[in-house]
Amino acid sequence: MVMVAGNKLIDVHTHLEQYTSKELEAVLNNALNAKIGWIITSGMDLETSTRAVEIASEHTQVLASVGIHPWSAADTQQRDPDQDLYKKLKTLSHHKKVVAIGEVGLDFIDNVSTGVTFHDNSELQKSQQIIFKQYVELACELHIPLIIHARGANRTIISILKDRKTHIAGGIIHNFDGDERQARELLDIGFYLSFGGVITYPDAYQLHDTLRKIPLSGIVTETDSPYIPLYQQTAAKNEPCNINRIVKVIAKLKRMNPERLIEIIHSNFRTLFDISDMESSR
């Protein structure tokens, strides 16, 4: 048993399978030393979702989510004509450490890393929406939250979620970049807004402004490790232990005591996810 009971910090969004096994042990140790209590690792396709569940089953403090990332909509196989992928992910989702469906969502901004252009490609936008809606339905059916990637697509995502409002068990908008109005619409339908490395940049004026206006009851924290480096981060890869720096920046923007913020985020996390079984067994 790992002694994590007093650790209150939360990292709601990571991709732990992106580390080598050797790196992962060090990363998880650093996280425990930094008082991170829970980390959610999210799959982006079948392979990474399978690995996410494996990592979660091997580590007490790690929870998993399974899904198809919107970037995969450019890949014909991921469009899943035979529903083979969907069936396999659905089976995986029954694992006791799977607490959400994700990473799913919509991304209408051109992607420099994959070279795929989404913003003016209505066909790709359409296939992203087909995939996204299917996993929204799965989350409704299983009655578990969603972990959503929303880039340049907040309006469409809000309208899809509103349509299923009464059936959705809430969720998280990871790396939220919308405005105050969008934030409030999402809070109204039971979503939490997650803030990570971007908030640590002194020139992220718009995001700072939005964060100041959002109620504390709607905020959670993430690193998106190993991606999204923090301001002046020297290490090549981001890590969950950096949640500490993110919390400090949010507390400063909110003009509050970081310890109180940590308690609130912890309680937001516990409200969204039903993890009492796992809590008592560690």
Residues forming contacts to Zn ion in the complex (CB under 5 A) are 103
**Beta carbon of residue 1, minimum distance to Zn ion (angstroms, whole number):** 29
For residues 179 and 189, what is the distance between their CA atoms, to the nearest angstrom? 16
**Which C-beta is closer to Zn ion: that of 4 or that of 207?**
207
Alpha helix ranges (H) inside the chain = 21-33, 46-58, 84-93, 122-142, 154-163, 180-188, 205-213, 243-253, 258-272, 276-280
Name the 3-class secondary structure at 201: coil
**Which C-beta is closer to Zn ion: that of 80 or that of 103?**
103
**Beta carbon of residue 224, minimum distance to Zn ion (angstroms, whole number):** 5
**Which C-beta is closer to Zn ion: that of 4 or that of 16?**
16
84 DSSP 8-state letter: H
**Beta carbon of residue 13, minimum distance to Zn ion (angstroms, whole number):** 6
Strands 191-195 and 36-42 come out as unpaired
**Which C-beta is closer to Zn ion: that of 51 or that of 184?**
51
* Structure token digits, residue 204: 């992220």
**Beta carbon of residue 15, minimum distance to Zn ion (angstroms, whole number):** 6
Q: Which amino acid is at 28?
A: L
Q: Compute CA distances 184 → 11, 193, 210, 215, 218, whole Å.
A: 22, 10, 10, 9, 9
**Beta carbon of residue 265, minimum distance to Zn ion (angstroms, whole number):** 19
For residues 57 and 49, what is the distance between their CA atoms, to the nearest angstrom? 12
* Structure token digits, residue 128: 């992203």
**Which C-beta is closer to Zn ion: that of 3 or that of 112?**
112
For residues 99 and 119, what is the distance between their CA atoms, to the nearest angstrom? 31
* Structure token digits, residue 112: 């420099």
Query: Closest by alpha carbon to 31, among 2, 64, 66?
Result: 2
Q: Is the dihedral of CA 73, 195, 39, 233 positive or negative?
A: positive
**Which C-beta is closer to Zn ion: that of 11 or that of 80?**
11
**Beta carbon of residue 54, minimum distance to Zn ion (angstroms, whole number):** 18
**Which C-beta is closer to Zn ion: that of 228 or that of 264?**
228
**Beta carbon of residue 282, minimum distance to Zn ion (angstroms, whole number):** 25
